[in-house]
Amino acid sequence: MISHLGPQLGVADGIALGNLLKKNKKVTAVFSGDGGSSEGDFHESLNVAAVWQLPVIFIIENNGYGLSTPSNEQFRMKQFIDKGIGYGMEAVQIDGNNILETYSTIRKLAESIRENPRPVLLECLTFRMRGHEEASGTKYVPQHLFEEWGKKDPVNNFENFLLKEKVLDEAYISMDIVEMQFADFVTCGFNQIINNLAKTHYRWGQNVDVVVRMPTGAGVNAGPFHSQSNEAWFVHTPGLKVVYPAFPSDAKGLIISSIEDPNPVMFFEHKGLYRSITEEVSDEYYTTEIGKARLVREGNQVSIISYGLGVHWAIEYLNEHPEISADLIDLRTLLPWDKSAVLDSVKKTGRAIILHEDTITGGIGGEIAAEIAEHAFEFLDAPLIRSASLDSPVPMNLELEWNFLPKRDSENNSRRF
């Protein structure tokens, strides 16, 4: 899709031509509204596709209006598939609000076109239940059309079908546990998370019962595309909650709390903790409060604030240096994070180290440091320390990877206690 409409149809022709020449039996699908079909690019693209027999499905979403112009003021034919006749092109009309019909038709067309390359014009009858964009409104649309098409809502109708066929039940519909596998790949769904999930409740008061599981982190020699710590992207986004457990018992309690929470939750799970950290976990149903930190160890010389694998690095270091008396705070939740627990600890110890695996620039450590500096500055006996990964992609080489991670800073930080 290209915002200017029309032009994407010519791009589809080019892709289809490349596939045809390579004889790889691929089909190109391209979308346009009925309004876009009035542009010159539409006619040129369909004509070329027909002459060269390009394997393209031209999918036209016919909602009856080109922005605010009704179809009868755009073209004279009674149905859109009539356009196919002029190009000598096969044309098919379907109920675009029927998910099963749409899926079945496109699958059959694609299978056929792979074996017999040719263009097909597919008209999907549908309707816009809102304006073309934010400014236009819907005053130009007769009210009875909303009533008629409201009964054809594809999401509601498909949901009712799945319930009737006993594919789903009401309990299953009420929740949604999504796994990115891996957190690095979340960029492919970034818009849906940042602009859809995070803002839905703000826009119209609808709950978003979605938990996105995010296997994350380095230290497993998986390279730069399977090792990133990207939790800070979502901590910056109002409307989301961000959870990051370090222990099995917390993982169970927090995942249940996340499922019960009506807000969208990004649930980070460090891959390095899978099958490496063990703990007795109750078989009973229980929840762990989102937004509440855990005091893993108690001391009076320094506060170590961390989460995820960083908590275990801190435990390991403190075990090796029993002379250090430290409060070790496992945040468990990054949005919202437990400011009271952190400030109370820093006011007691007078020193703070913020440890996280994420790169130092733009990491949540900077936010925590700013909060401490703003609200507990007079209690500090030493500068705040941020211990984090280098500002670099995660190295592929294992030795370089461990040099990249903040565990390398342990000896330096100990001198500051």
Per-residue pLDDT for 404 more than 80?
yes
Mean pLDDT of the 134-150 span:
83
State residue 335's pLDDT score: 97
Question: Is 70 exceeded by the pLDDT of residue 313?
Answer: yes
Share of the chain above pLDDT 90, in %: 70
Q: Region 326-334: what's the mean pLDDT?
A: 98
**Domains, the chain, ordered by start:** 7-147 (3.40.50.970), 177-273 (3.40.50.970), 294-414 (3.40.50.920)
Which two structure tokens, joined as six digits, stand for 108?
Answer: 């059959």
pLDDT digits (tens, 9 = 90+) for 212-247: 999 999 988 888 989 999 999 999 999 999 999 999
For residue 174, pLDDT over 70 is answered with: no
Tens-digit pLDDT profile for residues 368-384: 999 999 999 999 999 99
Region of poorest pLDDT, from 25-39, 132-146, 188-202, 310-324 = 132-146
Instruction: Report the 10 Å Cβ neighbour count for 377.
Output: 10
Separation of alpha carbons 402 and 380, rounded Å: 31
pLDDT band (50, 70, 90) for residue 416: very low
328 and 295 Cβ atoms separated by less than 8 Å: yes
Q: What is the pTM of this model?
A: 0.65
Q: How many CB atoms lie within 10 A of CB 262?
A: 11
Q: Which residue has the tokens 């892709």?
A: 15
pLDDT tier for residue 169 given thresholds of 50, 70 and 90: confident
- At 128, the pLDDT band (50, 70, 90 cuts) reads confident
Question: Residue 92, exposed/middle/buried by CB under 10 A (0-12, 13-18, 19+)?
Answer: middle
pLDDT at 323: 96
Beta bridge partners of 389: 359
User: What is the predicted pLDDT for the residue at 28?
Assistant: 97
For residue 361, the 8-state DSSP code is T
Strands of 326-330's sheet, edge to edge?
294-297, 326-330, 302-306, 352-359, 385-389
SS3 at position 142: coil
Write down the pLDDT at residue 175. 59
Q: Are residues 75 and 104 in contact, defined by beta-carbon separation less than 8 angstroms?
A: no
Distance CA 325, CA 347 (A): 15
Q: Which of 186, 358, 182, 356 is nearest to 271 (CA)?
A: 182
Residue 267 has pLDDT above 60, yes or no: yes
Model pLDDT, residue 415: 37
Does 40 score more than 60 pLDDT? Answer: yes
Q: From the CA atom positions of the chain, what is the Rg in Å?
A: 28
Q: Running DSSP on this structure, what letter comes out for residue 176?
A: -
Task: Give the pLDDT of residue 39.
Answer: 85
- Region 315-336: mean pLDDT is 97
Confidence at residue 1, expressed as pLDDT on a 0 to 100 scale: 57
Determine the distance from the C-alpha atom of residue 277 to the mean position of all C-alpha atoms in its chain, rounded to a whole number.
Answer: 27
Segment among 11-15, 22-26, 136-140 with least mean pLDDT: 136-140
- Answer left, alpha or beta for residue 283, where phi above 0 means left and psi between -120 and 50 means alpha: alpha
Percent of the chain with pLDDT over 70: 94
Q: Indicate the average pLDDT of the chain.
A: 91
Could you tell me the pLDDT band of residue 412, with boundaries at 50, 70 and 90? low
Overall residue count recorded for the chain in this entry? 417
Q: Contact, 66 vs 38, CB < 8 A?
A: yes
**Residues taking part in catalysis:** 226
Crossing angle of helices 339-349 and 364-375, rounded to 10°? 60
**Residue 135 pLDDT exceeds 70:** no
Over the stretch 69-117, which tens digit does the pLDDT of each residue have? Answer: 888 888 888 888 999 999 999 999 999 999 999 999 999 999 999 999 9
The yes-or-no verdict on residue 184 having pLDDT over 60 is yes
Q: What phi and psi, each to the nearest 5 degrees, are found at residue 334? A: -100, -20
10 Å CB burial of residue 166 (0-12, 13-18, 19+) is exposed
**Overall average pLDDT of the 132-155 stretch:** 84
pLDDT of residue 414: 43
